């Protein structure tokens, strides 16, 4: 087995992120203060973005790496870009946040990069083993990031729940992999599984394995009924980490699912009860968005509310997956547009949540946000735009993301009920997003406002709002980028 130079170049974004993570660790021990490691990590992200752009320009076709264990194609590069930008935003927000809350440590930056590297492995994976290892890299770094805010007791609780249920999910993934491996005659690559699926589907063990794999992945995107960890982990994590979990990690897991369901289990002849996993996933999508939205209605804590909102968004995203399973044209680029818009919006929202809290005054309840518009009109406006995007109100990126996914799903008559349910759900969600807006604009402040000034947070907030609005006004460039991801052959 030889390693071709072309493969190294093709994987350069992933290698850069991993390498810079290790270097940041070293630099942190040698340099004085935390700034050098932070700068290195941020520079690494920028360099990796350039490498992604270089790959995008360079090769039009997909390229299998290491005898089909990973693949470099347009979809993976698109999601790479989203993941790296999410990591960069997290780094920019995390540094001032940790300084304010006095738990700054350089390992944090390395762990953010390792989580991102894991996520990138997941979206490149075309083999159950690389999927599993990518998921584990991403998740382990995420558990530790959640636990890293040690003075926060909720952090330890959230991290423990996340770890235990995540380990359980990993068990499902491994068990599923073993069953699929055994029943397909030793296949773990997606192409191999797809080739043998029709024959193996008569074997209940294979079906069981497929559902176990699906279960493990659904844990990671916090779909109902595997969502129990999400509110606690989101609430207990340092706010920038919550932003990373809601954006980067969810994007990676959905990207992994697109590959897994779109190739390995795409065969319509696959038993699982004719419509197969498509019908099951449709039911889970409905349960996820409905449960997420209804639970979000009752939350007083902003972070918990956003956690349930993120569960609801996982439901909308799954509609795209179901459409993909129904072989709808354009389901995959629609999902990618949604993922990009959702990631940008979420990062912006959690940046505001991180910015609002002070060491002695977290301001996590909705009523604490009262009167923000009077002292901080710009941030209140930015938050309003972002919340409208989450609710899916035009002209924001969130609207177009949902619009494309729903339009794709509408092409299949079987999915009309799901789209109707999703639109109704979006209407419900407007209520709780607007609660924050109402508090910011129409309530008198309970305490004086003194959020801390931070250039990094201001940059992230500005960029995310611009991206969200740009996606809403001129979505074409991103839509074309996402459609470039369609040119894949697995």
Partner 1 sequence: MPTNLVVFYLFALAAVVGAAGVPMSKNIFWSAMGLLSALVGVAGLYVLLSADFLAVTQLLVYIGGVLVLIIFAVMLTSQIKEIEVSNQNVGLVSGAILFALTGTLLCFVAIWAPWKVVLLQSHETTTDIGNGLLGAWLLPFEVTSVVLLATLIGAIVVARKEIKED
Q: Who contacts 169 (Cβ-Cβ below 8 Å, separation ≥6)?
A: 215, 216, 219, 220, 226
Query: Is the bond leading into 225 cis (omega within 30 degrees of zero)?
Result: yes
120-149 binders of partner 1 (CB under 8 A):
121, 129-130, 133-134, 136-137, 140-141, 143-145, 147-148
Cβ-contact 137, 115 below 8 angstroms: yes
Query: Is the bond leading into 458 cis (omega within 30 degrees of zero)?
Result: no
| Least distance to partner 1, CB of residue 148, Å | 5
Q: Who contacts 203 (Cβ-Cβ below 8 Å, separation ≥6)?
A: 183
Binding mask 201-240 for partner 1 (x = CB under 8 A): -xxxx--x--------------------------------
Asked if 199 is part of the footprint of partner 1 (rule: CB under 8 A), the reply reads: no
Distance CA 369, CA 66 (A): 51
Classify residue 398 as exposed, middle or buried by CB count within 10 Å of its CB (0-12, 13-18, 19+).
Answer: buried
How is residue 33 annotated by DSSP? S
* For partner 1, the closer CB: 147 or 419: 147
Residue of 8, 53, 58, 105 that binds partner 1 (CB under 8 A):
105
Residue of 95, 111, 123, 254 that binds partner 1 (CB under 8 A):
111
Asked if 69 is part of the footprint of partner 1 (rule: CB under 8 A), the reply reads: yes
Q: Which two tokens stand for residue 341?
A: 């818009």
Site size with partner 1, rule: CB under 8 A: 42
Q: Specify the DSSP element, H or E, that contains 63.
A: strand 63-65
* For partner 1, the closer CB: 65 or 278: 65
| Least distance to partner 1, CB of residue 67, Å | 7
| Least distance to partner 1, CB of residue 130, Å | 6
255-314 binders of partner 1 (CB under 8 A):
none
Asked if 110 is part of the footprint of partner 1 (rule: CB under 8 A), the reply reads: yes
* For partner 1, the closer CB: 229 or 369: 229
**Residue span binding partner 1 (CB under 8 A) among the ranges 107-115, 395-403, 420-428, 435-443:** 107-115
Q: What are phi and psi of 365, to 5 degrees?
A: -90, 150
Helix, strand, coil % (nearest 5) of the chain?
A: 75, 5, 20
| Least distance to partner 1, CB of residue 99, Å | 10
Cβ-contact 406, 422 below 8 angstroms: yes
Count of all residues that appear for the chain in the document: 490
Residues forming the site for partner 1 (CB under 8 A): 1, 18, 21-22, 25, 33, 65-67, 69-70, 103-105, 107-108, 110-111, 114-115, 117-118, 121, 129-130, 133-134, 136-137, 140-141, 143-145, 147-148, 150, 202-205, 208
């Amino acid at each position: 087995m030889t390693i071709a130079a072309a493969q190294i170049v093709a994987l350069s974004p992933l290698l850069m992120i991993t390498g810079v993570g290790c270097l940041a660790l070293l630099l942190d021990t040698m340099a004085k203060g935390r700034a050098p490691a932070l700068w290195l990590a941020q520079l690494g992200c920028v360099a990796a973005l350039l490498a992604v752009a270089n790959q995008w320009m360079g090769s039009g076709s997909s390229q299998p790496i290491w005898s089909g264990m990973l693949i470099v194609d347009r979809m993976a590069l698109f999601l790479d870009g989203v993941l790296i930008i999410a990591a960069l935003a997290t780094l920019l927000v995390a540094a001032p946040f940790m300084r304010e809350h006095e738990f700054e440590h350089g390992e944090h930056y390395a762990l953010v990069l390792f989580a991102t590297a894991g996520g990138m492995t997941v979206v490149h994976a075309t083999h159950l083993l690389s999927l599993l290892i990518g998921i584990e890299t991403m998740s382990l770094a995420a558990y530790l990031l959640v636990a890293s805010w040690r003075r926060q007791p909720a952090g330890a609780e959230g991290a423990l729940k996340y770890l235990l249920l995540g380990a359980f999910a990993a068990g499902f993934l491994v068990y599923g992999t073993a069953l699929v491996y055994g029943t397909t005659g030793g296949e773990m690559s997606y192409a191999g599984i797809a080739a043998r699926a029709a024959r193996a589907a008569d074997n209940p063990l294979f079906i069981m394995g497929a559902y176990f794999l699906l279960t493990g992945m659904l844990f990671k995107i916090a779909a109902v009924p595997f969502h129990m960890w999400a509110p606690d982990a989101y609430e207990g994590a340092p706010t920038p980490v919550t932003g990373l979990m809601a954006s980067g990690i969810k994007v990676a897991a959905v990207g992994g699912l697109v590959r897994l369901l779109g190739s390995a289990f795409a065969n319509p002849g696959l038993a699982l009860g004719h419509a197969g996993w498509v019908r099951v996933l449709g039911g889970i999508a409905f349960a996820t968005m409905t449960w997420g939205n209804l639970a979000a209605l009752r939350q007083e804590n902003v972070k918990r509310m956003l956690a349930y909102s993120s569960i609801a968004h996982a439901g909308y995203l799954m509609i795209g997956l179901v459409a993909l399973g129904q072989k709808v044209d354009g389901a995959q680029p629609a999902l990618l547009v949604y993922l990009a818009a959702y990631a940008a919006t979420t990062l912006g929202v959690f940046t505001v949540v991180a910015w609002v809290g002070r060491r002695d005054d977290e301001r996590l309840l909705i009523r604490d946000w009262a009167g923000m518009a009077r002292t901080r009109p710009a941030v209140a406006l930015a938050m309003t735009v972002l919340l409208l995007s989450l609710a899916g109100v035009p002209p924001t990126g969130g609207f177009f993301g949902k619009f494309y996914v729903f339009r794709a799903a509408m092409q299949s008559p079987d999915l009309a009920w799901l789209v109707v349910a999703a639109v109704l759900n979006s209407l419900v969600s407007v209520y709780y997003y607007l609660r924050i807006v109402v508090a910011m604009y129409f309530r008198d402040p309970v305490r004086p406002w003194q959020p801390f000034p931070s250039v990094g947070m201001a940059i992230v907030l500005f960029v995310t709002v611009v991206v969200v609005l740009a996606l809403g006004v001129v979505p074409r460039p991103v839509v074309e980028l996402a459609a470039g991801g369609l040119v894949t052959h697995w």
